[in-house]
Structure 1
Amino acid sequence: MATPQSSHANGKACVIPGDFTVVPIKFYSDSNTQHNLYVKEHKVREEKSSYRPLDKTLFVLNIPPYCSEDVVKELFSQFGSVTSVELNEHPGFFHSGAKPSRYFKPAQKQCFKVGYVVFRACSGIAAVKSHPFDVPLVVCSTQPGVKTGIRKWIQQYKNNLVQPDRLQHVVDNLMKNFDLKKKREEEQQKLEAEQKDEDQEGWVKVTKGPKGAKARPYSEAADEKTLRRERRKKKRKELLNFYAWQHKNTQKEHIADLRKKFEEDKQKIALLRAQRKFRPY
């Protein structure tokens, strides 16, 4: 990506189109080559999440595959205290939920990633955006540093070896949490069924709701919906033609329908006769 015409000489930051600031990094301090990260303040207004506060979150592009969350946190910690780091393959919203265990976590794709770095104070973002372009950050500034090549493969192989007792402990905790969740769901369903239960006379059993539950606000639409439901219940329970007057009314309605149909048929026949072309008489 081409840099703008503004100079990024000694002691000045390099800003490119899109309001991105270029932050160079080196793998070792004596490396002849460097890699560029592109950072800007995270300003997605639709994403109202406490995990990415808009005034303290830094959006980072072009993070190399060898940089893990711990490495990224160490790189940006020199600009201020970092509370959290999140790396994804593509930009997107935060997916809240339980973090998967490392024993059941799917393998991640080795590719350049995007990151969200959350600082404890707003000054961390300003410090990153004003970082000089000619002063690259060093990835392996401490020992043993980031492992690559065969050392990285050996470390990954060792991490994949799981002790049976440790794995059993993780599985037991997982099943215990699953059983507790299912039990809470069954209790909630049972409570809702009891609240909706009615006796033969139509009385509803009223029980105390869950703690902290708020009452439903009054609205005409809710009242109308309740009345329609009550009418349907009453109609289902009503016996047809049980009384003599009900039977008479049904017969009268039936006779009225037959007379109405007879008059409509007479009008149709008269119309057909008027439209007939052949008239023998």
Structure 2
Amino acid sequence: MAPSKKKHASSQACIIPGGFTELSLKFSCNSVARHKLYLKEHKVRAEKSSHRPLDRTLFVLNVPPYCSEGVFRELFSQFGSVQSVELRDHPGSSRESGPGLSKLFKPAKKQGFKVGYVVFQTASSLSAAKSHPHNVPLVVCTEERQVKTGVQKWIQQYTSSFSQPDKLQEIVDSFMEGYDKRKEEEANRQQEAAAQQQEDEEGWVKVTRGPKGAKGRPHTEAANQRTLQKEIRKKKRKELMNFYTWQHRNTQKEHIADLRKKFEEDKNRIALLRAQRKFKPY
């Protein structure tokens, strides 16, 4: 039987449904078992951050637990210069917001399969990674790059979990310095906002236009109370006192009610003084 003249498909990249390309891994040169990575170009319309450019970012699925960010960077460096590598538990549109925290202030990472984002310096490196033959696996553990697993990895993680007291104190001091600075800036912003909302002698409030896109400041409780008292005073100045008969009648009723209330208070006070033997009418 004559040999086939067609090019064998195993020397080409294997594309599976969903637009993903298979990339084989094996732990060492002597390993028989292979692990499959599934990768494609990162294209998300909602992605607006600059640390994941759409034309140079590779999205990778099924990343094994023994692949750290350093190992991942070295594996994909053979396709071109790598700008950054990010491993996450779940796909996400952006990095964590807020101030950068040390690993001492973060919960322990989950040990399991992850998703990765590899950002290359050039778009040609991304194409080279996607077109890599799936029957040519990448070797994770070599003589130059030793990757520990099993008990050795647990011992390394346990040893690295301890921190030197002086280094720990330096991290805590740096974090508290940044925290105090942020609190001081927030207090200054609140003072400026209160000064802008302060009324002048004639009751006018200075309103300034904030930066573009800034949300309006919510009214404080004190500002609401001042506005309410101002409206009450204005209403009292406008209304006529004792002009109508029913107004005069209501004023008399209120006056009588006040006199009765004061009379009851005086009776209670006299009864209290008599009980204490301090009542001296003469």
Same fold (TM over 0.5): yes
Deviations 1:210-240 (A, max 9, x none): 9xx4599xxxxxxxxxxxxxx9886444142
Paired residue secondary structure (1:240): helix
CA gap 1:23/1:251 in 2 versus in 1, 3 angstroms: same
| Cα shift readout 1:73-120 (whole Å, capped 9, x = no counterpart) | 111111111111111111122133333212222111111111111111
Q: 1:240 to 1:97 in 2, by over 3 A?
A: closer
* 1:240 and 2:236 correspond: yes
Corresponding residue number in structure 2 for 1:98: 99
Q: Give the drift of 1:13.
A: 0.5
The alignment status of 1:11 with 2:7, answered yes or no, reads no
Q: Is the 8 A contact 1:195 1:205 kept in 2?
A: yes
Identity between Structure 1 and Structure 2 (%) = 54
Mapped to 1, the partners of 2:89 and 2:70 lie a distance apart of 17
CA distances 1:41-80 after superposition (whole Å, capped 9, x unpaired):
1111012111211111111000000101111111111111
Aligned to 1:186: 187
The reply on whether 1:127 has 2:123 as its aligned counterpart is no
**Structure-2 separation of matches of 1:63 and 1:154:** 22
Task: Please list the CA deviations of residues 119-175 of structure 1 after superposition, one character each: whole Å capped at 9, or x if unmatched.
Answer: 111112111111011111111134351111222122112211211111011111111
CA pair 144-115 structure 1, distance change in 2 beyond 3 A: closer
In the TM superposition, 1:105-124 aligns within 5 A as 105-124=106-125
d(CA) in 2 for partners of 1:203, 1:8: 84
Structure 1 unaligned spans of 5+? 1-6, 217-230, 253-281
RMSD: 2.8
Contact 2:46 2:93 (C-alpha < 8 Å) held by counterparts = no
Bigger drift between 164-173 and 94-103 goes to: 94-103
Please name the residue that 1:88 is paired with: 88
Structure 1 Cα separation of the partners of residues 228 and 123 of structure 2: 60
Structure 2 partner of 1:261 = none
Cα 1:249–1:141 shift into 2, 3 Å: farther
Provide the residue aligned with 2:146 in structure 1: 145
1:44 maps to 44
What SS does structure 2 have at the residue aligned with 1:92? Answer: coil
The unaligned stretches of length 5 or more in structure 2 are 1-6, 215-226, 248-282
Cα displacement (A) at 1:30: 2.3
1-side partners of 2:14 and 2:120: how far apart?
A: 21
Q: 1:233 to 1:8 in 2, by over 3 A?
A: farther
Residues 201 and 249 of structure 1: CA distance in aligned 2, closer, same or farther (over 3 Å) = farther
Count of matched residue pairs: 228
Aligned to 1:227: none
Counterpart contact for 1:65–1:111, Cα < 8 Å: yes
C-alpha contact 1:27 1:139 (8 A) present in aligned 2: yes
State how far apart, in whole Å, the 1-side matches of 2:72 and 2:129 are. 13
CA distance, structure 2, for counterparts of residue 214 and residue 86 of structure 1? 33
Q: Provide closer, same or farther for how the CA distance between residues 52 and 243 of structure 1 changes in structure 2, counting only shifts above 3 A.
A: closer
Q: Give the whole-Å Cα distance in 2 for the aligned partners of 1:78 and 1:247.
A: 95
